[in-house]
């Protein structure tokens, strides 16, 4: 009688333990399946790092923020105008001119003639405009850069009711500096400007 009673108690207990182990197995399986994949983010990070390395290898950056440049002349009356000299790379300097809320750049190589880019006439078509704070010098050999890339915001509305149009300006440096492309806003704007800089450059744009 006692033997039958022990068997009757043991069998349900063994069944319950087996059910718990099965439930634990299903829970672990669910947890493993629900873990987010790590490969895609790693691949995206590697791709982003590769793009950054490419830009670093072929690009060097200098400041054209007015406070970081030497003031040559200034007149705050009658609309105001100023001239500032900014250091570049490989002996280049950039002279920034600002007159009546319109800015331009004169490229000054270590040897050779000065070249005014004509940002107001060629890009802004006479509208108010403002340069960004950074110049990108680009080329296979950064001791002799071939291209200058700068940002120029052009007023879309003289009353300021619309945001400025932020273009990237691609300018060749040799044999004399001139604008060869204007890259409009949009996805991958920096990459598009660098792609133009890295292939055979187009002809100079005319105002």
- Residue-wise DSSP of 45-79: HHHHHHHHHHHHHHEEEEE--GGGSEEEEEE-STT
Predicted TM-score (pTM) of the model is 0.72
Task: Quickly count: other Cβ atoms within 10 Å of residue 117's Cβ.
Answer: 23
Per cent of the chain over pLDDT 90 is 64
Task: Quickly count: other Cβ atoms within 10 Å of residue 199's Cβ.
Answer: 8
pLDDT digits (tens, 9 = 90+) for 26-46: 433 333 333 433 444 455 544
Q: What confidence score (pLDDT) does residue 197 get?
A: 97
């Amino acid at each position: 009688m006692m033997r039958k009673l022990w068997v009757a108690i043991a069998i349900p207990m063994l069944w319950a333990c087996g059910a718990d182990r099965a439930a634990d197995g299903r829970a672990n399986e669910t947890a493993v399946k629900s873990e987010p994949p790590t490969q895609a983010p790693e691949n995206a990070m590697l791709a982003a790092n590769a793009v950054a390395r490419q830009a670093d290898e072929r690009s060097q950056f200098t400041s054209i923020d007015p406070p970081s440049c030497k003031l040559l002349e200034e007149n705050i009356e009658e609309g105001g105008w100023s001239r500032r000299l900014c250091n570049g790379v490989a002996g280049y300097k950039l002279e920034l001119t600002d007159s009546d809320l319109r800015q331009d750049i004169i490229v000054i190589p270590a040897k050779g003639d000065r070249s005014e880019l004509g940002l107001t006439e060629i890009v802004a078509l006479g509208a108010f405009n403002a340069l960004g704070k950074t110049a990108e010098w680009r080329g296979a050999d950064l001791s002799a850069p071939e291209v200058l890339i700068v940002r120029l915001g052009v007023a879309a509305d003289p009353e300021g009711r619309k945001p400025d149009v932020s273009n990237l300006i691609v300018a060749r440096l040799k044999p004399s500096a001139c604008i060869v492309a204007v890259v409009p806003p949009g996805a991958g704007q920096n990459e598009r400007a660098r792609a133009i800089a890295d292939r055979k450059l187009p002809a100079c744009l005319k105002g």
